Amino acid sequence: MQTFVLVVHIILAVLMIVLILVQHGKGADAGASFGGGGAATVFGASGSANFLTRLTAILTALFFVTSLTLAVYAKKQTTDAYSLKSISSAPAVPAKVAETSPTAPKTSE
């Protein structure tokens, strides 16, 4: 699941970069008075500004959600790695060491 979220995150990042670079700035409207008003016919009367702005906002929200999801996964992995639950409750002294220790009583057979 983490791999899927990471792939979606990267795709959203690339789409946001492309979408932001496609949009024109506020100073670009001056060029439209010289015959560059083709965007109004493709995206409707309001032009491409509303469509691209809304799409950018949606992609940004999805990017934010995937970022938080990846942060939760990363937190869970580090918590599990440094948890005391990973230490077993078995005795620390192996059985052979206990048999050969000088304090252990020797049995004669």
Query: pTM surpassing 0.75?
Result: no
Residue type, 3: T
Q: What does the pLDDT read at residue 86?
A: 61
Q: Where are the domains of the chain?
A: 1-24+40-71
Show the 3-state SS of the chain.
Answer: CHHHHHHHHHHHHHHHHHHHHHCCCHHHHHHHHHCCCCHHHHHCCCCHHHHHHHHHHHHHHHHHHHHHHHHHHHHHHHHHHCCHHHCCCCCCCCHHHHHCCCCCCCCCC
pLDDT by position in tens, the chain (length 109): 999 999 999 999 999 999 999 887 766 555 555 555 555 555 555 566 688 889 999 999 999 999 999 999 999 888 877 767 666 655 555 556 555 656 656 666 5
Q: What does the pLDDT read at residue 77?
A: 87
Q: What does the pLDDT read at residue 39?
A: 52
Task: Please identify which residue in the block is written with the tokens 């999801």.
Answer: 69
| Whether 80 contacts 87, CB under 8 Å | no
How distant, in Å, are the alpha carbons of 63, 83, 92 from that of 88? 40, 11, 9
